């Protein structure tokens, strides 16, 4: 004879199942419920099936194996019920704040931007209208970013000339120039009008409208730390530089007159006979800026594409060298051409002078001093050194990403 439970026992079991709490851990973007293991699972053999919750816990983003963008909005949703608990934490255990909808079925994070490379863990409980609950959990990771670093010229606490641009170089091309430029600032005492201008894919300069006033104190900031640039990029760190504008020195060179005039504070201090580039090696007209100074330097013609063995080839130890262009124009001592200085142009493009005049000029000049050349049809270009001053103010302003 087969035993069957009485109708009274079945009624008692049914009442226990309704009051129990059903829990499950559903995958991302899905939710599920499992039967209670005890005591209902023990009664399954007698034909009593545990009820499951009608609610499901869903997560957005939903795929725990995928990485997500920093601008992703975190959400937890109770489908077919309401949320009773929500916990979203960063990898260090910090809670992520959020808000629950009036119906209690959607939780939305208050975090507008997620840190690159961060891992989040989310857990939540939902209950259906019958009071049966279900759990869900997931983890997800924000994608890693390419770090964009900045370096600033001039160097910290340096004293530079009135023609010195502020130069910010990046280790990688920023995908969003406007956001990077907005993170850059220049403050000066006295206040000076100027503008940023991009001179390459990885380089932006700040140039005053006119030469800096002597004695100006300048602070430059690149506030890139945690800056979301776009296209998998983020700023690496904040960089700050302080520098001062020194005495107002302007050097003027007449290529056709073969003379250099040295001005300080607007007054002519000295005129120096020079020689510049000969035919085929003409010196450029335009405004150049002293980029660096070297007491001695080996100059080799192979670095300016003059092959060894050529009648124009040279390798010389040069004294009092001051670089003006990337292409190899310098101010320097040229004792071998003293006979031509003040009368003819015989160099390979540099501006040569006697040893004593070069020593005098080297001692009184500094990085950032402008050197204005006239008398040649060969022009100075923007990127061949610090060529910023060869653009009009209007043209310079158009190089800003903010335009």
Q: Which residues are catalytic?
A: 332, 350
CB neighbours (10 Å) of residue 319? 17
CB neighbours (10 Å) of residue 112? 8
Cis peptide before 154 (omega within 30 of 0): yes
Angle formed at CA 92 by CA 62 and CA 140, multiple of 5 degrees: 10
**The two three-digit tokens of residue 261, written as one number:** 């005039």
* Helix (DSSP H) and strand (DSSP E) numbers for the chain: 5, 29
Tokens 């160097």, residue located = 155
Tokens 């120039």, residue located = 177
CA 219, 220, 225, 229 dihedral sign is positive
**Of 320, 170, 330, 337, whose CA–CA distance to 239 is shortest?**
170
Tokens 């001062």, residue located = 244
**Residues 195, 391 contacting (CB under 8 angstroms):** no
C-alpha span between 282 and 292 (Å, rounded): 22
**The two three-digit tokens of residue 117, written as one number:** 């490379």
CA atoms within 13 A on the CB side of 85: 10
Would you list the DSSP string of 162-187? Answer: TTPPEEEEESS--S-HHHHHHTEEEE
Cis peptide before 29 (omega within 30 of 0): no
C-alpha span between 288 and 303 (Å, rounded): 20
């Amino acid at each position: 004879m087969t035993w069957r439970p009485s109708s009274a026992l079945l009624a008692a079991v049914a009442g226990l199942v309704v009051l129990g709490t059903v829990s499950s851990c559903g995958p991302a973007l899905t939710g599920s419920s499992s039967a209670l293991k005890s005591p209902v699972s023990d009664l399954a053999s007698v034909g009593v099936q545990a009820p499951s919750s009608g609610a499901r816990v869903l997560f957005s983003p939903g795929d725990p194996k995928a990485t997500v963008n920093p601008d992703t909005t975190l959400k937890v949703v109770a489908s077919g019920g309401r949320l009773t608990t929500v916990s979203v934490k960063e990898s260090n255990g910090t809670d992520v704040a959020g808000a629950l909808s009036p119906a209690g079925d959607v939780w939305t994070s208050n975090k507008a931007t997620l840190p690159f490379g961060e891992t989040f863990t989310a857990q939540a409980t939902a209950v259906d209208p019958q009071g049966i609950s279900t759990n869900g959990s997931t983890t997800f990771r924000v994608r890693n970013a390419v770090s964009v670093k900045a370096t600033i010229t001039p160097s910290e606490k340096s004293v530079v000339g009135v023609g010195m641009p502020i130069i910010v170089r990046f280790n990688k091309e920023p995908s969003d120039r406007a956001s990077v430029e907005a993170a850059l600032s220049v403050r000066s005492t006295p206040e000076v009008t100027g503008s940023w201008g991009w001179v390459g894919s990885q380089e932006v300069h700040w140039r005053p409208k006119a030469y800096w006033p002597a004695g100006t104190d300048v602070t430059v900031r690149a506030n890139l730390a945690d800056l979301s640039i776009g296209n998998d990029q983020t700023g690496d760190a904040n960089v700050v530089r302080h520098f001062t504008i020194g005495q107002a020195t302007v050097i003027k060179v007449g290529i056709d007159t073969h003379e250099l005039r040295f001005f300080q504070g607007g007054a002519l201090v000295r005129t120096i006979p020079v020689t510049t580039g000969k035919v085929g090696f003409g010196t450029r007209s335009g405004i150049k800026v002293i980029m660096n100074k070297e007491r001695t330097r080996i100059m080799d013609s192979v670095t300016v594409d003059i092959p060894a063995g050529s009648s124009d080839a040279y390798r010389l130890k040069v004294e009092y060298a001051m670089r003006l262009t990337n292409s190899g124009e310098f101010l320097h001592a040229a004792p071998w051409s003293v006979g031509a200085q003040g009368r003819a142009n015989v160099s390979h493009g540099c501006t040569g002078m006697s040893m004593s005049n070069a020593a005098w000029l080297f001692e009184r000049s500094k990085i950032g001093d402008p050197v204005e050349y006239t008398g040649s049809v060969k022009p100075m270009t923007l990127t061949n050194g610090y060529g910023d001053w060869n653009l009009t103010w209007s043209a310079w302003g158009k190089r800003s990403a903010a335009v």
